[in-house]
């Protein structure tokens, strides 16, 4: 014959533990333990991760210092390059003006009749001014026509024409022309 097993529970049954509120508190306490354990694991992980971040920060600061030293070593070179660039810009301006001067003088020599005598010749970046004397109107007209045919001159204006009367039959004149940039004339 087999003996029947009987359950012996020495703990007294609490009616509160069996109530819905008691069951909720029991569940909340069990779940709360898990929340506390998970929170502690997160805090410990963050604490340990901080050591890695400190090491990374130190390596980054060392890298910045090394790169800053390299940049500082090139400071003199950069200064020299900037000085050289400004000198090259000045040289280009001078060379461009010299080319303009040579081009303008070459244009003027091609258009100038031999009997015209120039008293003053001045030009800037975009203007040519001539003052001179001519023995006849034909020579003056030849000069104006020759200047009009030059591709790097435009807007030729005769500002004044005068004669010295019976004593001096020569014609005194002043004229102005606009110098076209070399890009427009293709030179």
How would DSSP label each residue in 34-86?
HHHHHHHHHHHHHHHHHHHHHHHHHHHHHHHHHHHHHHHHTHHHHHHHHHHHH
Start-to-end Cα distance in the chain: 129
Length of the chain: 187
Assign 29 to helix, strand or coil: helix
For 95-120, how does the pLDDT look when each residue is reduced to its tens digit (9 = 90+)?
Answer: 776 666 667 777 777 777 778 888 88
Q: In what order do the strands lie in the sheet with 127-134?
A: 117-123, 127-134, 171-179, 153-163
Q: Which CATH class is domain 113-185?
A: alpha beta
Q: What mean pLDDT is predicted for residues 81-97? A: 84
For 19-60, how does the pLDDT look when each residue is reduced to its tens digit (9 = 90+)?
Answer: 888 888 888 888 889 999 999 999 999 999 999 999 999 999
Q: How many CB atoms lie within 10 A of CB 5?
A: 6
Model confidence band, residue 11 (pLDDT cutoffs 50, 70, 90): low
Model confidence band, residue 162 (pLDDT cutoffs 50, 70, 90): confident
Cβ pair 131, 143 in contact under 8 A: no
Cβ pair 112, 134 in contact under 8 A: no
Q: How far apart are CA 58 and CA 60, in angstroms?
A: 5
Query: What are the domain boundaries of the chain?
Result: 113-185
Q: What mean pLDDT is predicted for residues 68-88? A: 90
pTM score of the predicted model: 0.47
Judged by average pLDDT, the poorest of 100-104, 130-134, 169-173 is: 100-104
Model confidence band, residue 12 (pLDDT cutoffs 50, 70, 90): low
Q: How far apart are CA 28 and CA 9, in angstroms?
A: 25
């Amino acid at each position: 014959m087999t003996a029947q097993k009987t359950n012996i529970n020495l703990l007294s049954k609490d009616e509160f533990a069996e109530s819905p509120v008691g069951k909720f508190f029991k569940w909340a306490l069990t779940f709360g333990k898990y929340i506390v354990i998970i929170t502690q694991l997160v805090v410990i992980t963050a604490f340990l991760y901080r050591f890695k971040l400190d090491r990374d920060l130190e390596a980054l600061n060392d890298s910045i210092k090394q790169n800053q030293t390299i940049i500082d070593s090139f400071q003199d070179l950069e200064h020299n390059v900037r000085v050289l660039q400004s000198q090259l810009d000045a040289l280009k301006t001078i060379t461009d003006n010299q080319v303009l001067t040579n081009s303008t003088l070459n244009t003027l020599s091609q258009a100038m009749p031999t009997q015209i005598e120039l008293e003053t010749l001045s030009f800037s970046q975009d203007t040519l001014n001539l003052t001179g004397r001519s023995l006849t109107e034909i020579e003056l007209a030849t000069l104006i026509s020759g200047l009009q045919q030059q591709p790097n001159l435009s807007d030729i204006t005769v500002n004044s024409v005068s004669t010295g009367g019976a004593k001096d039959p020569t014609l005194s004149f002043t004229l102005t022309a606009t110098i076209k940039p070399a890009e427009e004339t293709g030179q």
